[in-house]
A = this chain, B = another copy of it.
Amino acid sequence: MASGFHSVAAQLDTAGAKLASLVLVVDDDPDMRSSLTDLFLSVGLDTRVFASTSEFLGYSLPDRPSCLVLDLRLPGSSGLQLQAVLGEQGVPIPIIFITGHADVLTSVRAMKAGALDFLPKPFRDQELLDAVNDALRRDAKRRVGDRELGKIRGLAEQLTPREIDVLRGVGRGLLSKQIAYELGISEITVKMHRSSAGRKLNAISVADMIRKIELLGL
């Protein structure tokens, strides 16, 4: 590539990163939906809007850094209920509440349940944008870690039950001899499983192997 393109490439990169992020909005007020869409689009953030929690739940989340801007009071089930449902389902999307009818008890409950922010209307555009950017940053960071873990878990699926038994011993710092005794098999067989497991996990060193064993929660 010609060196003259460096700054252009950097700009494209930044734009690409922003486009990769997605803001989900759930609000029953059509005016709010459209003004929020405008707001987010104006700073280059991709946006999807929903009028109710059920509409949102019918939408399958794409694999992109994203966050949820959620109105508290909604027809049907409330924003808090949606937060609870997402929590039960283990959906880790960061949530920012917005509401016109704020009270302390509700805000505290939402925050204790893990909301990232809670903005009473009216709020300044910049407040919401700051919160959204923070949320997107966190989600992106979480995704990096999750992907790493997912890769290792994928490799771990190749492991046979016996190999897992052996790895558990390795993680506890036992010698092959001791693992053999515990499992009632010979030392050489333990070594086989051990090295076979190491190959499957792509463990390039003992340290690496132990880290991966810990990550897998063995």
A-side residues, CB < 8 A to B, are: 102-105, 107-108, 111-112, 117-118, 120, 170-175, 204-208, 210-211, 214
Contact = CB atoms under 8 A, between A and B. Distances in A.
A49 B147 CA distance: 48
A117 B118 CA distance: 15
Contacts of A107: 104, 107-108, 111
A104 B214 CA distance: 42
Contacts of A206: 173, 206, 210
Given A111-B111, A112-B111, A117-B112, A173 B104 contact: no
Contact of A205 (B108, B174, B204, B208): B174
B112 A108 contact: no
A118 B106 CA distance: 11
A127 to B, nearest CB: 10
Instruction: Give the 5 A-B residue pairs with the shortest CB-CB distance, closest first.
Output: A173-B205, A173-B207, A111-B111, A102-B104, A108-B118
